Amino acid sequence: MSDLTVSLVQANLHWEDIAANLAMFDEKIDAIKERTEVIILPEMFSTGFSMQPEKLAQTMDGSAVQWMKQKAKQKNAIITGSLIIEEEGQYYNRLIWMLPNGQFGQYDKRHRFGFAGEDNHYEAGGKRLIASVKGWKICLTVCYDLRFPVWSRNTIKEDGQPEYDVLVNVANWPERRNVPWKALLQARAIENQCYMIGVNRVGNDGNDIYHSGDTSLIDPVGEIIYQRAHEEDVFTYTLSRQHLDELRGKFPFMKDADRFMIL
C-alpha cells in the first residue's frame, strides 16, 4: 500500500460565526500548496465549542456541510472535522468525513463533555466510524473521546490485521488541561500501534477559555513528529506505510492484546 499525505489545520475560531469560520478555512485550505489527501479541521470548526445548538445547529443540507462538499471537490482531497448538526429535533456534535465526490461518512461524538454541560445539549453517538483511503484504515474520534481508551481500542481482525492504522481526534481542548491532552495522544499511539493525529484549536473562545492548540502528529511508538502550541498553523506530512508495517512487524504487541467487543 502507498503512503498517505495529511494536512493538520490549527486555527483560532470565530465564536459562533459560521460564515466567518468558513471564509477563514477557505483561505487556509487554499494556501496549502503541497499535494494533500486528507485535510483535518478542529472540533465544531464552524462555531467553536458552543452549548447553544438551538441557535447554531444546521441540517446536513446546511451551508457548512455544503461548504465541505465544495471544498473537498475543489481541493480533490478528503476534508474532516465536526459540526453542530440538527436531525429530527435532536442535536449532535457530528464529525463528517467528506470525500471529493460528495459522498461522506459521519460519526456522532460518543463521550459528551459533562463538565461543560455537553450532555445536556447533544445526543451521544453509539457507533464508531473507521474510514478507508488508499488502503489505510482511519478511526475517527472527537475531543473528550480521547480520555476513554476502550472506545478507540485497536483490535486484531480475523485476518490477523489491526482494525485501523491511524487514529484521529479533532478537538477544542483547553490549555488548562493540555498536559493530559499531550500525554493521552502519545498513549493512544503507543497502545494501538498507530499514527495518532490530534487537531486542536488555538485562542480564546466566547467563554474566555484559552486553547493552546498543541496539535500533534505522533508515530506508532510514541515519537512526536509534529506539535505546535499557541499559533495558527497548517502542517502537511506524508505518513509512511513502510514505517508503520516495519514497526508492527518488529514489535508484534497487538497479537497479545485482550480480545473483546464494544457493545
Catalytic residues: 43, 109, 143
Beta strands 104-108; 38-40: pairing state = unpaired
For 146, the grid coordinates are 480521547
For 186, the grid coordinates are 502519545
With beta carbons less than 8 A apart as the criterion, state whether 58 and 84 touch. yes
DSSP secondary structure, 99-158, as one string: -TTS-EEEEE-SS--GGGTGGGTSPPP---EEEEETTEEEEEEEGGGGG-TTTT---B-T
Residues linked to residue 72 through DSSP beta bridges, in sequence order: none
46's CB contacts (< 8 A; 6+ apart) are 18, 21, 22, 64, 83, 84
Start-end of H helices in 163-222: 178-192
What three-state secondary structure class fits 172?
Answer: coil
Closest CA to 214 of 244, 238, 184: 184
Closest CA to 5 of 60, 89, 70, 77: 77
For residue 253, give the DSSP letter. Answer: G
